[in-house]
Structure 1
């Protein structure tokens, strides 16, 4: 965990490969509720609600950054919302930004696939196992990262114009699933 001026960011290495569909639209879960990350933190349901409401009320958005670097915005989050599973994000990498083009290329190649949140803890408690339960956080940004602290925080990239029933996509998914099963043996 890195902390600068109260902003917390989490990084962690994980091993699962991501199935990436080509393109510059990305979506995924930046945080999952009730999942313990590598630092012993567990985000509780509703932890983002006040922050998201405050941002919307002020006409501001959660920023999309490259590796938590505030000097490197790479796109726009079109949707950031809590659902029953966690913090779902959907957005676009900006092709007009050099790092946005680089991020798209790395996603398409499968070299990167992590999502990570930058936030300030507003309210937290400890459970009987010593884990920090994040009850309320002020969300500042969601970054595309190499190593997210929560291994399940992943992005799924795809072209905006890609049809869901696309035969080639389905075929690629079958091959990727088969490759994972063979590697697991």
Structure 2
């Protein structure tokens, strides 16, 4: 098992796959079951560490499937917690980390697509193993995207205002009357009160 640092120049995914290896987050070796309840942030961001581990592609496929499943379970649990307490557990730092992880996965998926096009049709077993690895990676990315969507839906937008619109009652009435006419409805009449 070889540990690789994100910050160092990683070997090309092409080289690893040609050797029958693929990379998974080092943290995936610690995940035994869903760990949302004690610490949601750690659970959702733990696969985002500084290290990747190169393991045989079949084992990597299995680990990525399990990691995607665990993350999906954690997200479902987080949604249940949100419905109960309406309290967000995810920090802005974790949000940025998850977005970074999505970008890293995107580049890996692009590499996988390039690898698949470079293999000849005669190398079917290798193509199948690469496809089998790419699928859970794409599923994992999809779940991370759902996490981002959930975070955005449960947090107040960064740019909000409490200022009231600078529209007079006469302007608003005129706007409503115009919209009624556009929709083919009768022009509404307003009380003068």
TM over 0.5: no
Q: Which has the higher helix share?
A: 2
Give the TM-score taking structure 2 as reference length.
0.22
Give the TM-score taking structure 1 as reference length.
0.22
Q: Which has the higher contact order (CA 8 A, sep 6+)?
A: 1
Q: Which has the higher strand share?
A: 1
